[in-house]
Every structure is written in C-alpha cells, then in structure tokens.
Amino acid sequence: MTIRDTRVIVLTGASGGIGQALAREFAKENVYFALIARDEARLHPLLQEIRALGSDGEIAAIDIRDRQEIHEFLHDLDGRHPIDLVIANAGVTAGLGPNRTRESDQDSDRQIDVNYKGVVNTVTGAVGALQKRGKGQIVLMSSLAGMRALPDMPSYSATKAAVIAYGHALRGWLKPFGVAVTIICPGFVTSPMSERHKGAKPFEISAEKAARHMRRAINRQQAFYAFPFILAMAIRLQNLLPAKIGDLFLGGFEADIEQDPRYLNKKGS
C-alpha cells in the first residue's frame, strides 16, 4: 500500500458502537486508519478486524480533551500519511440527576469538554494541513438532539447544537479552500450509549445500518445529513411551531439516562 494510493481516515471514538461500525463500513483496500479512543484494549481487536477486511492503520489511546496530545499525534500522522478524512465521532452522554434534579457539575463539564471542545481539538489538529493541500473532508458527529434539545439531556443537547453551529461555520470558511464539511445528526442508534437511555427510542436502528447511511452521506460530501428521515422531518416541522406547542412534541421523549460506568465515582474525569 503506497501513500499516493491510500485514503487516510482519522476516526475518534473508535472504540464505541458507532465508531467500530464506521471503521468496518469504510474498511477496504487502500484505506489507512488512525483509530483514536481512550480505551486502547478495545482498539487492538478493531485494528485486526479492519486489516482482515483489507485496510491497514494504527491506534492511539488519546483523550481528545487533551489538546496538545491530539494535536501532536495528528501533526505527526499527517507528516507520515497525509490525512484525507477526519471523522470527529467521539462523544459522551449524561442526563438529569436523581428525581429529575439538575445535572451534576462533573457530567455537564465532561460533555462540554468531550462533545464540543474535543471536537474542536480534533478539527484544529488537522485542518491546517487540509487547508494547505486544498482538499480533504471533515465530518462532525452531532445528533437529532442538537436540532431539538431534549429536556432530560440539557448539556448533551447543547453540546450537539454547538457542533452543528461549528460545522456550518467551518463549511463556510473551508469551502473556498476545497475542504468539505459534513454534519451528521443521527437519531437513536443501538450501542452501549443507547442502552443507558431508559425511555422511548423511536425508529432506533443498528449501529451497522447507521454506519451505512453515514458512509453514503460522507462519500457524497453532503453538507448536512439527519436521519431517520421521518423523525428528522418531524423535528424540523415542530421547530416552526410556537414554543408552547412545540414543547408538547417532546412529551413522549422523557427518559432517564443511566450513569456511564466509565465515570462512576471518578470526580472531574
């Protein structure tokens, strides 16, 4: 596999359900992955899987909240394998406290730091090289919750809305330089993250099916892609309604979000 023949893909959150499904979906000959996540143990088997599918790559156990570390890795990677596609997929969820009390400070801070700041850290570590070469693509993973905030997930919804705004700004900035930007807003996707969402999950689909939808949107370089279509369209329509009426739409989405076991009893992590 030579550099000139290779599509180099950076994928954050690669150890999660959607991340793993995306890696498998894009894996084929002449694709080189940089698989990034905090859990190195879960990255090794994924790397072996994509190699069996004809790809190659490397893994990096990085917390994307660490700007210096992710920047240094991406700069080094681009020097060895010029990056073509960045998929900023890493994200975390949390909800309200017990008995619908406010979110904990730790949960709120973590979502802001990972879901928004981590995305910015990822993009800014690679965008200079893409802009200089005048080609490439950046994909930002948002959520339907970023299009219409969920009352049970205030910080999550806010961070995903911020990702949408950031993506629109990036696209306007980078389009003249030949760099495409795609914002993706999935609905409910079966994954360990989704399993902690105890409530209605209409039109939930498998991570594998979601990854197929995402790959097609990414390959077409769509500016904005929200799915499933019916739910995304319903959100767009209710956003046109007066707030009091639109709020009624969210009555069926009440949910409890179980604590992420990775962060239980870990203050500030």
Domain segments of the chain as ranges:
3-263
Cα 227 to chain centroid distance, Å, stands at 14
List of E strands, 109-157: 137-141
Token match 């790959």: residue?
215
Give residue-wise pLDDT tens across range 71-104.
999 999 999 999 999 999 999 999 898 888 999 9
Give residue-wise pLDDT tens across range 122-171.
999 999 999 999 999 999 999 999 999 999 999 999 999 999 999 999 99
- CA dist 256 and 186 (Å) reads 20
Q: What pTM value is reported for the model?
A: 0.93
Instruction: For residue 232, name the pLDDT band (cuts at 50, 70, 90).
Output: very high
**Tokens found for residue 139:** 């994909």
- CA dist 136 and 228 (Å) reads 27
Total count of residues recorded for the chain: 269
Give me the mean pLDDT over the 232-254 stretch.
Answer: 82
- CA dist 230 and 220 (Å) reads 21
Fold entry, domain 3-263: Rossmann fold (3.40.50)
Give the relative orientation of helices 154-174 and 118-133 as an angle to the nearest 10 degrees: 10
Are 153 and 196 in contact, with CB atoms under 8 Å apart?
A: no
Cα 152 to chain centroid distance, Å, stands at 20
DSSP H or E segment with residue 227: strand 224-227
Residue 66 has a CB neighbour count (10 Å cut-off) of 13
Cα 34 to chain centroid distance, Å, stands at 15
**Tokens found for residue 211:** 């990854």
Give the chain's mean pLDDT.
Answer: 92
